[in-house]
Structure 1
């Protein structure tokens, strides 16, 4: 991760009993956060979106479980002249994974399964590759189940091919993707190494459904989000006709159209609206929400999960699961990237984060050891200037603002 794990440390001295964001508010100003501090974040976002034109974004910051800042910037819908507001909802893409991981840990608490339960047994799968029988819930959470999209492919984005191979009408459902993949060979032995896998989290969604006897969205709303006071997040829909209330429009980085996975299959459509089947991606990439809601999920995770569950979530894997030269500095836990930090707080000795990325979507959620969390959401993935990820570009700029706040706090 870039420098995002350091954002906003200095705001702690200003925050006290900050109110949560209510629906319709554009900005939150707790009494002990100065107007200059809020203006600095405003100016950063305004300058950033002016530089990267055609982008809408939203930023929310929390301290100790409460939102202290939230505001929308830029355009939610360019054609309609609709601006992004604090309550505007965005696709959050892979930030869905830590949400799913939390749900799995609640089922472990309920003694419905263990981290070493076998997914084949839980779902009653009949798999061609015998190595499937060794895949555990822990493997799926840590992206070490045996699928490597760089070696083979990402099954969640082969909707048409999978549906047609099964004699079904595209797009393939999550269940159909699993049926197909159960007959394909793994790319490596389970637990051998790390390889980011959307399909692994698709399986976790079906485990949640099988054991809870609820559909994934209902279970997650009831057990994960509602206890945090998050009541408006939902699974997004692919097609523009099903755009949710207050949901932004999404803008691909390329003006080129893509082949639709929906009938009529192959018809050229804007990428974010038919090039993949969002509904089948529920448990690994389909939630939508406002920046405040996403931020609150990170901020309140320690209230939802018990200390031992947090410890499991952020524990280093038993063996190095990836060959990244920076692996000793950070690793992937249960739905979160984790960076151990050295400080005097033994209860939360980590900074944790996750990003989300789809054509038309760029998102970042960060949890800090000192009680700060933040979420920044965009309705475009990459910069039109240099093709870099917008979340990566804004990250150091947010740190510059945080450093300014820290300097003011330390001034006599």
Structure 2
């Protein structure tokens, strides 16, 4: 019987299901810095931070939204490009990547809250997953998936969400592979860990949560989320993204990466820009597929500020400490990373795909922000996760905070 670790030997030399090749950088042109949207003079530290961060990494487009005590006080688009149009603005759509996970977790919590689903429900029988390779798969629950303790560890073996070519070959199916193909393939291998015993971030686990939502509701995943999570708080612009550049939304930014890879969208074997076909965004819907503006995700953070869509009990459960806590003190709740700090909790989630880098933060003192970039790699070699500390520093430099609320200006 093949274990997931055995599969690494079979897949040697295939990184993330494709071969990544560094593309030749385009000739440098003259870039212009422009800022769109609304802010206030006291919030200049945020503008300054985004300008220096983006220019150091040659990031073309970004958007930032900042919330203070439930009020939208900053809604910006930032542009460092050779083009005068289109310009990124506060309502421009960006791929959220793994910032999609809190959206999926919220949908699951809503189903639990409404009595339609139990956190202790076993996933394999619900979704028809074969447990022949590992009977422990039958013990994996919805709660395990939410907290990334289902037993899949991509550091130990592989992330099936980026193994399209191996799945094609292993199952002898055509490209593009489907979510059903991914489940059939992954169920052929033993779990890396016993369910509930080890935290290991799992895209696949959240893909399964999307299938749970469909099974319980009888609706497509995105339909249920839009009708029962997003629309009730006024969010109307969010949609699932598409892999191909030709299928991007009218208000969606383009994405930049210095890498290319073999397409997984068809059997042509063509080399494509990595962000446009070297991974299958459609299959990543529940763990990485949403498109959103910064202001819409800023509104999403307010779901967790007070009872409304979710009850106070559900909100507390989202941030409750699980059995497994990182030695550094942080833990993964239900769709959110959580760190206890003096005064309360800091909660956040980031996202990363070729062409995308995102971050959403809810701070203990009532401040929240969402920043979205259309790039995650560049020849500078500088880190993109550095924006986390820099935005905390920008927030700490603000005084006084504006009392305006811009949500209504953006239909929220």
TM range (shorter): 0.7 to 0.9
The answer on whether the counterparts of 1:64 and 1:372 sit within 8 Å (CA) in structure 2 is: yes
Is 1:221 aligned to 2:219, yes or no? no
Unpaired runs of at least 5, structure 2: 1-34, 403-412
| CA–CA distance in structure 2, aligned partners of residues 221 and 167 of structure 1 | 35
| CA–CA distance in structure 2, aligned partners of residues 403 and 369 of structure 1 | 13
Give the deviation of 1:332 after TM superposition: 0.6
| CA–CA distance in structure 2, aligned partners of residues 384 and 370 of structure 1 | 37
| CA–CA distance in structure 2, aligned partners of residues 188 and 50 of structure 1 | 43
Change (3 A) 1:206 1:41: same
Give the deviation of 1:149 after TM superposition: 0.4
Give the deviation of 1:80 after TM superposition: 7.6
Is 1:88 aligned to 2:83, yes or no? no
What is aligned with 1:330?
Answer: 330
What is aligned with 1:3?
Answer: none
Q: 1:289-329 deviations in whole A, cap 9, x for unaligned?
A: 11111111112234321111111111111244xxx430xx2
What is aligned with 1:194?
Answer: 199
What is the SS of the residue equivalent to 1:304? Answer: coil
What is the SS of the residue equivalent to 1:27? Answer: strand
* Aligned pairs (5 A) from 1:128-147: 128=132, 129-147=134-152
Unpaired runs of at least 5, structure 1: 1-24, 30-34, 344-348
What is the SS of the residue equivalent to 1:373? Answer: strand
Give the deviation of 1:170 after TM superposition: 1.1
What is aligned with 2:347?
Answer: 352
TM-score (structure 1 length as normaliser): 0.84
Which deviates more, 220-229 or 52-61? 52-61
What is aligned with 1:405?
Answer: 398
| CA–CA distance in structure 1, aligned partners of residues 84 and 151 of structure 2 | 45
What is the SS of the residue equivalent to 1:399? Answer: helix
What is the SS of the residue equivalent to 1:204? Answer: helix
What is aligned with 1:375?
Answer: 370
What is the SS of the residue equivalent to 1:340? Answer: strand
The answer on whether the counterparts of 2:63 and 2:373 sit within 8 Å (CA) in structure 1 is: yes
| CA–CA distance in structure 1, aligned partners of residues 238 and 126 of structure 2 | 28
Give the deviation of 1:44 after TM superposition: 2.5
Give the deviation of 1:81 after TM superposition: 4.2
What is aligned with 1:258?
Answer: 261
What is aligned with 1:14?
Answer: none
TM-score (structure 2 length as normaliser): 0.84
| CA–CA distance in structure 2, aligned partners of residues 47 and 387 of structure 1 | 12
The answer on whether the counterparts of 1:160 and 1:171 sit within 8 Å (CA) in structure 2 is: no
What is aligned with 2:129?
Answer: 125
What is aligned with 1:363?
Answer: 358
What is aligned with 1:28?
Answer: 38
What is the SS of the residue equivalent to 2:352? Answer: strand
Change (3 A) 1:191 1:260: same
| CA–CA distance in structure 1, aligned partners of residues 158 and 401 of structure 2 | 50
| CA–CA distance in structure 2, aligned partners of residues 166 and 406 of structure 1 | 59
Q: 1:239-280 deviations in whole A, cap 9, x for unaligned?
A: 01101111011111x2x4211102244210000000010000
Change (3 A) 1:111 1:40: same
What is aligned with 2:51?
Answer: 46
* Aligned pairs (5 A) from 1:221-300: 221-252=226-257, 254=258, 256-300=259-303
Q: 1:351-402 deviations in whole A, cap 9, x for unaligned?
A: 110000011100000112332211000000135323412xx22233323332
Number of matched residues? 365
Change (3 A) 1:166 1:90: same
| CA–CA distance in structure 2, aligned partners of residues 232 and 94 of structure 1 | 18
Change (3 A) 1:361 1:319: closer
